[in-house]
Structure 1
Amino acid sequence: MGKGLYISKSVGITLIVLAVAAVATIIALSVVFHNEKSRTVEKPQINETDQWKSYRLPGTLSPQYYNITLWPRLVPDANGMYIFTGHSGVAFTCVKETGLILIHSNKLNYTLTPEGHHAKLTGLEGAKAPAINKTWLEVETQYLVIQLSETLQVGKIYWLYMEFQGELANDLRGFYRSEYFEDGVKKVVATTQMEPTDARKAFPCFDEPAMKAVFHMTLIHPSGTVALSNGTKTITLRNQNVLQTKFKPTLKMSTYLVAFVVSEYSSIRTAAETDVRIWARRTAIEAGHGDYALSITGRILDFFQSYYNSKYPLPKSDQIALRDFDAGAMENWGLITYRETSLLYDPITSSNKDKEWVSTTIAHELAHMWFGNLVTMKWWNDLWLNEGFATYVSYLGVDDVQPTWNIKDLMVMTETHKAFAFDSNKFSRPLSLPEEEVKTPAQINALFNTITYSKGGAVLRMLSEFLSEPVFARGLSAYLKQFAYGNTVYTDLWGKLQEVVDADPEVNLPATISEIMNRWILQMGFPVVTIDTRTGNITQNHFLSDADSKPSRSSPYKLLLNRLLFVSPHGFWPTVSSHSYLQIIRANMINMSLALRTTSYLSEEREYLPWQSAIKHLNTFINRFRHTEVNTKMQKFLRSKVQPLFHYLKNITADWTEILSSHTDQYNQLNAISLACTAGVEDCLDLTKMWYRQWMKNPDKNPIKHSMRSTVYCNGIAAGGSEEWEFAWNLYKKSVDDAEAELLIYILSCTRKPELLNRYLNYTLDPNMVQKKHVNYVIRHVANNVVGQPLAWDFIRANWSTKTTFASKVDGNV
């Protein structure tokens, strides 16, 4: 018998009781563990793997304020580089639990902490900051990535501090340098262009428009220079050979509106309630080139305060003219930066068109002080909310200070017709894109085009017209009041306008604001409206300039036109009736002979607007037929129409020696000369060649009136050869005035000689030949020349990687 284990009865019972108790304990613990596990599972899981590969911030952190100190060096270092150094801190609130900090950073070099990290993290207001595990720069998505040992606490505030260095390059982006010569001495300006995604190139920041914060700025700069920023200067301290200027904190605003400039500029100012100052090169200020801008800025601000029923929220408005600036202007809150030709006006040498451009640009930027700055789009897909409004109301602002110009009527020519041409392309896009389609900096930059600015402005004008201007303005006022210092989407605007409409019994719409307007902003293109004059029936179809093309996006047009058509004369659509034939002929919708017969009245027409509308469309046919057998007949047809206007204006201006007083009459003079020379009117060709030759013989004594120079120069070069072109090119190389340089940039593209146009395009590859800020202008102007179109296209394809480096706001918009 084998060995066994003997257990007494009493011991066995005890063991059984203990076993049962153990099982019960295990079951109880299992229940407790299951309940605890359930609670843990229900808690949101944080998956932060590879968040730095997304171009959008995760929304876990919200910046409150920044302290930024920057020191730009206005002389090169031992390596020949211009640099800036700086340090900044940002206070942010944790709004969602996270163990990861993503902050935008591009082309900045950091001073590492003793632990080898790019930043330091501390807690504020009693918060305890977790330790930093690891930091690195994610170049593709432009982040500084900070991984933490523990998660940040929701609702707690933290402070992130960094020290860094960057290049003060001449690339017109972020914090960059501009250069000019004064009295034979080279001067360097440190300035900024943050919009849309380049604040991160000046200092680390949460660089999205919804990430609004307050900015405390300090600039260190050389003695003899002046520092400017968004806020008002509080104090300037002298420290050996440098100055330290501190500024009052800004209002809550987006990073793309941050601006600072260090220069040797001079200024003029007003003594009004709002401190308005115009800054420019000393010689430009002394010559009075800033006087016109100063005379209208305060008046336009007053107009917008009244129109929006909202006080300008800042104590000052600095406006500064820069030699090297990519866009027309930039609406930085409190410190608006301009290309020189957009702010400075010389009453002796500038043209009427120059004055209009300065006026509309200033009005556009000041309009942004409310639309865009006070209330900002949530994301770039709704950029049109900023730019479309500024485009539309800029005409109202200029009309208030220049009532004799009839500028509101010109909007149809300058914006609506321009948008028609762009939006009839099969590759157009809606005004408002889905948010997920706009992520990368390249995708954001692509939005700065005619659709955003011109179509946005035209559609909003249409909305204003059928609501009536007072109702529209009341809606804008309510919108600005509710969303001040915040961010919105387009539906927020429709909602406030609808509230005003519902409260006004005199406004009777066929549908809600949203139902009407979403059809215009969420679809690409526009309809062509056909009116049957016998029955009154109205039909509509998506208009494409190439009727056989297939649009890149579906646009099932069903617009509410039956009632709106006659309510608003400013609708964003052409009609197939007795008007707009020339516009729709390109889509092969009507017979060309019929369309051209509608222009028969032009031989009797003397007013600017009808002629301007006709010329815009006639130019299409001029270019189409220039190298065909139809060209001779086309030229004869054009001469029959324009000769009466040409000779009429010649007579009333004493053989072109006088300039007419009316704003639009001056434009009509240019139209008459331009079309007459294009059509081969001998008197016109002889006139422009004579003037151009006289100018070539004596460049210092130009016989051509300033308002007519653009047209005369262009026709002189078009009719001439290499000698005429070289004369203008040498003047460009020697030009010191931006307005003169940009005029010469344009007229050099007027030649009809392919070899000259090719040489001109190749010059854009060398910054010593064509300045970077002029590169896109050259390409655009050459592409607008019928001879240059294929040359420009071949050039772009051959140099695509180079040209994208200089990509700017596509249409030179502001």
Structure 2
Amino acid sequence: MALKDRDILPDVAKPVHYNLSLFDLQLGDSWGYKGNVKIELKIFRSTNVIVLNSKEIYVQSAELYGSNGSVLAKASEITYDTKSERVTLAFLEEIAPSDTVLSIKFTGTMNNAMAGFYRSKYKPAADPTEDSPKEGDFYYMLSTQFESCDARRAFPCFDEPNLKATFDFEIEVPSGQTALSNMPIKSERAGSIPGLKFVSFETTPVMSTYLLAWAVGDFEYVEAMTQRKYQGKSIPVRVYTTRGLKEQARFALECAHRTVDYFSEVFEIEYPLPKADLLAVHEFAMGAMENWGLVTYRTTAVLFDEGKSDTRYKNRIAYVVAHELAHQWFGNLVTMDWWNELWLNEGFATWVGWLAVDNFYPEWNIWSQFVAEGVQQAFQLDSLRASHPIEVPVKNALEVDQIFDHISYLKGSSVIRMLSDHLGRETFLRGVAAYLKAHAYGNATTSDLWSALSQASNQDVTSFMDPWIRKIGFPVVTVTEESGQISVRQNRFLSTGDAKPEEDETTWWIPLGLRAGPKLADAKPCALVSKADTLGDIEQDSFYKLNSDLSGFYRTNYPADRLAKLGKSLVLLSTEDKIGLIGDAAALAVSGDGNTAALLALLEGFKEEQNYLAWSQISSSVANLRSVFAQNSSVAAGLKNFSLELVSPAANSIGWAFSTEDDYLTVQLRKLLIGMAGLAGHENIIKEARRRFQLWESGYDKSAVHTNLRSVIFGIAISEGSHQEYSAVKQEYLKTDSVDGKEICLGALGRTKDANLVNDYLDFVFSDKVAIQDIHNGAVSLASNAQTRHLLWDYMKKNWASVESRLSTNNVVFERFVRMGLSKFADHDIAADIASFFQNKDTSAYDRALVIVADSIRTNAHYKERDEGRVLEWLQAHRYI
């Protein structure tokens, strides 16, 4: 993207170094603070105006100093552009090209919007120090969240990723509080009044403003040292929590210190800072943030309470810790040049995060999980017209929040996995290491990465990868069988199945990953590089499969009888192959390139399946069928019966009893099968779930609800129960001390089918009793329930002022809520109603979400109209009705 196409700050000055001091923090009062920032600047041409980024900051004064310390000029006029989030400092004197220092005095606010410099409320797990900030029943910690454009919300700065500089930082805090920043503490001195202290930190490396971070709180930590030596000594790795929670950080710590060493080896560059801190933040919009040397995390992404937490959260913690630590090199050491290449940071960190977890926990079958969760979610969004290229034009940085999505993260990581598999992982990582070394402490582009990989592999990576990065969408490969050969053709895949010629002009490089023969020999290294081609030496009666292990990012459309044969040869398929086969059949049924009858017939063959991740895909595909066809009572009943008959053998077999011999995947499989069967009406499972719930609710036997079955038992009890079960789980939400308990309770509460309870639930969700970061969980739960999603939409319309007021403080949360809350409908009238409702509203925070919502509903509605009758016929013919 050319510089002229970016809405960026004037290029008259560039920061070299910031010296930032914050003081007079009004803790528990107005939450205001004062600051002084001295910015060493290079001024490139004569000017009497300097423009910086600033949001919700009041600049009191600004002065320019010469190299000898003399005042060159004082700002005579200070003006703000709130729309572009800039402050203009005008000087009477013209400043010649020079090295100078800009000194700005300012005031700001520690907000509660989970952006900029903000405060998080919490109920302490242990008695806090006397000087801990407190307001009402809550205590507070302070931290920062600057990506993508919120450093300007904490202090005036040049807030663009390629305007890198070094930073000195100090902050005045209560004497009993702990202050953290990117670097180790350099010194402490007395504050302005007794009871306060100034904490100063070492100078950072050259880095972007969005990676600066600090935190203040009643913190404690657990620590481990790296096993590798860095410049002759081990590096301390710490996980900080508020008091009373540090023991729940042990698992994250174990992951973190091993991951620092692993990436130092993989990237062939030693971890570049003298310490690695992780911090659990009580209110957090994202999952985590990769601040250099001080990574911040949502509590459920870093804390695990052995015996109380669902083991699923261990998996999440290991991955999120690895993802953020990968950024310490890929994103922090080498940063994308501009936000259009966000995928360079996020796509790579996602892939290499999975790589690290697979290295440490091979028994988790991580790459199958990636295919089931990552690749399939990327397919779903990228099959919409509302999608965007991986590398998407970003004119104004304020637009970038809405591309922190499944395309940048999951499609980006999926095509990286495809490229790594093609080049060979060792070659791929050698190229990545060369890229990092060449651009360390600077900024780089996608082209720079392709050049390094091309050199490492002796292949023209640019030519075959650019369409994947710069073009929208992905292909479906359609297979036609002929005597002794098959023909393959690529076209753009759209979930609506109606790609126009002008939308189908891209020719992708597609690794075909062909396996053939009775035992499925190793995949042949062949690729489709044109719109169509023919593959020979394949007999009609032999076994073959394309896209081995779903390595390539594309759908495959087989002839109906070939799909049926594959469904009867599951023993020859890898878990990734099974996931891909089901996912492809389901998506092709939606688009009309396949049909739902073929999908249902394929799924029938999985009754004996024992793999959790294959069942995860089965469950997802069946849930979508039941959602789309929910309004036709006959089809809905038939699909419920289908689901029940499909899952019952496996659910009955796995049972309720946990064993110390159960591995991670077995635990997750039990939870999935019991939940799927219970929600499909399995009488014995519903009865047992309610029995266990009643023992738990009465207090007679709290252990009756196993920690790994809370979400399932709570969900079934509320779905099948009444006000009593609902109230019990609501109370559990309010009093639980389990780190994952609130997420689990909130999701289960959304299972209620009672209209009055739905409204109570939504009132509760939008009250201050539920953290803003968790509100979208409520939307997902209700939206997934076909019997209640219209109640969510009705509530949004009737209470929009309060909904908007609650969500508008954080655009990431707002966008997520709108997208997840409204995408499941399958009715053109509701799509029209949504469009009409938002027509005259300011939708700038979630306008992309609304496009995705409209496209998703249109897809579902077309699918329902086209296949509803056929699905009914199939269900009747196979005696599910």
Fold agreement, TM-score > 0.5:
yes
Are 2:766 and 1:765 aligned?
yes
1:222/1:241 contact within 8 Å kept? yes
Are 2:317 and 1:368 aligned?
no
The CA deviation at 1:700 is 7.4
Are 2:103 and 1:161 aligned?
yes
Which residue is 1:732 aligned to? 733
Which residue is 2:631 aligned to? 627
Distance between the aligned counterparts of 1:284 and 1:133, measured in 2? 51
Are 2:472 and 1:516 aligned?
no
Closer, same or farther: CA 640–660 of 1 in aligned 2, 3 Å: farther
Are 2:660 and 1:663 aligned?
no
Which residue is 2:278 aligned to? 319
2:127/2:243 contact within 8 Å kept? no
Which residue is 1:540 aligned to? 490
Are 2:20 and 1:68 aligned?
yes
Distance between the aligned counterparts of 1:730 and 1:564, measured in 2? 57
Unaligned runs of 5+ in 1: 1-50, 112-117, 503-508
Which residue is 2:453 aligned to? 497
For residue 649 of structure 1, the aligned residue among 651, 654, 658 is 654
Residue identity in the other structure for 2:597 = S
Matched position secondary structure for 1:459:
helix
| Superposed counterparts of 1:562-581, under 5 Å | 563-564=526-527, 569=549, 570-577=551-558, 578=563, 579=581, 580-581=584-585
Which residue is 1:177 aligned to? 119
For residue 34 of structure 2, the aligned residue among 62, 85, 107 is 85
2:59/2:78 contact within 8 Å kept? no
Which residue is 2:570 aligned to? none
1:396-430 Cα deviation digits (max 9, x unpaired)? 11122222212122110120011111211221111
Distance between the aligned counterparts of 1:132 and 1:386, measured in 2? 38
Which residue is 1:120 aligned to? 63
1:118-141 Cα deviation digits (max 9, x unpaired)? 311122269994564422222221
Closer, same or farther: CA 72–333 of 1 in aligned 2, 3 Å: farther
Matched position secondary structure for 1:59:
coil
Distance between the aligned counterparts of 2:156 and 2:435, measured in 1? 32
Residue identity in the other structure for 1:447 = I
Are 2:220 and 1:266 aligned?
yes
Residue identity in the other structure for 1:731 = E
Distance between the aligned counterparts of 1:514 and 1:795, measured in 2? 49
Residue identity in the other structure for 1:600 = E
2:491/2:504 contact within 8 Å kept? no
Distance between the aligned counterparts of 1:403 and 1:60, measured in 2? 52
1:588-613 Cα deviation digits (max 9, x unpaired)? 11232122111222122222232222
| Superposed counterparts of 1:431-450, under 5 Å | 431-436=390-395, 439-441=396-398, 443-450=399-406
Which residue is 2:572 aligned to? none
Which residue is 2:642 aligned to? 637
Distance between the aligned counterparts of 1:630 and 1:373, measured in 2? 52
Moved more, 411-420 or 268-277: 268-277
The CA deviation at 1:97 is 4.3
Distance between the aligned counterparts of 1:640 and 1:181, measured in 2? 46
Which residue is 2:596 aligned to? 592
Which residue is 1:531 aligned to? 479
Which residue is 2:419 aligned to? 463
Closer, same or farther: CA 126–686 of 1 in aligned 2, 3 Å: closer
The CA deviation at 1:349 is 0.5
Closer, same or farther: CA 660–95 of 1 in aligned 2, 3 Å: farther
Which residue is 1:31 aligned to? none
For residue 135 of structure 1, the aligned residue among 51, 55, 78 is 78
The CA deviation at 1:540 is 1.8
Distance between the aligned counterparts of 1:194 and 1:282, measured in 2? 25
2:322/2:356 contact within 8 Å kept? yes
The CA deviation at 1:321 is 0.6
Distance between the aligned counterparts of 1:730 and 1:176, measured in 2? 29
Moved more, 687-696 or 198-207: 687-696
The CA deviation at 1:144 is 1.5
Moved more, 717-726 or 203-212: 717-726
Are 2:290 and 1:331 aligned?
yes
The CA deviation at 1:796 is 4.5
Which residue is 1:424 aligned to? 383
For residue 145 of structure 1, the aligned residue among 83, 88, 93 is 88
1:278/1:318 contact within 8 Å kept? yes
Closer, same or farther: CA 685–659 of 1 in aligned 2, 3 Å: farther
Which residue is 2:241 aligned to? 280
1:280-331 Cα deviation digits (max 9, x unpaired)? 122112xx21111111211111111111111100010011111112211111
Residue identity in the other structure for 1:744 = C
2:308/2:738 contact within 8 Å kept? no
Are 2:782 and 1:782 aligned?
yes
Are 2:265 and 1:306 aligned?
yes
Residue identity in the other structure for 2:52 = I
| Superposed counterparts of 1:790-801, under 5 Å | 790-796=790-796, 798-799=800-801, 801=804
Distance between the aligned counterparts of 2:14 and 2:701, measured in 1? 59
Distance between the aligned counterparts of 1:228 and 1:206, measured in 2? 23
2:149/2:397 contact within 8 Å kept? no
Q: TM-score, normalised by structure 2?
A: 0.79
Distance between the aligned counterparts of 1:804 and 1:699, measured in 2? 44
Residue identity in the other structure for 1:146 = L
Which residue is 2:209 aligned to? 255
Residue identity in the other structure for 1:267 = Y
Distance between the aligned counterparts of 2:474 and 2:789, measured in 1? 26
1:778-811 Cα deviation digits (max 9, x unpaired)? 2233223323433334445534743333322666
1:531/1:539 contact within 8 Å kept? yes
Matched position secondary structure for 1:672:
helix
Which residue is 1:36 aligned to? none
1:430/1:524 contact within 8 Å kept? yes
Residue identity in the other structure for 1:704 = V
Distance between the aligned counterparts of 2:338 and 2:245, measured in 1? 38
1:323/1:738 contact within 8 Å kept? no
Closer, same or farther: CA 550–538 of 1 in aligned 2, 3 Å: closer
Which residue is 2:874 aligned to? none
Distance between the aligned counterparts of 2:220 and 2:374, measured in 1? 35
The CA deviation at 1:753 is 2.5
Residue identity in the other structure for 2:621 = H
For residue 224 of structure 1, the aligned residue among 160, 176, 191 is 176
Distance between the aligned counterparts of 2:392 and 2:614, measured in 1? 35
Closer, same or farther: CA 214–779 of 1 in aligned 2, 3 Å: same
1:523/1:555 contact within 8 Å kept? no
1:331/1:366 contact within 8 Å kept? yes
Which residue is 1:479 aligned to? 435
The CA deviation at 1:557 is 2.9
Are 2:680 and 1:679 aligned?
yes
The CA deviation at 1:463 is 1.0
Matched position secondary structure for 1:318:
strand
1:494-526 Cα deviation digits (max 9, x unpaired)? 111111122xxxxxx5xx311211111112221
Question: Alignment length, in residue pairs?
Answer: 733
1:582/1:617 contact within 8 Å kept? yes
Distance between the aligned counterparts of 1:777 and 1:74, measured in 2? 33
1:220/1:245 contact within 8 Å kept? yes
The CA deviation at 1:70 is 0.9
Identity over aligned pairs, percent: 30
Which of the pair has more CA radius of gyration?
1
2:142/2:216 contact within 8 Å kept? yes
2:20/2:38 contact within 8 Å kept? yes
1:72/1:168 contact within 8 Å kept? no
Closer, same or farther: CA 543–757 of 1 in aligned 2, 3 Å: farther
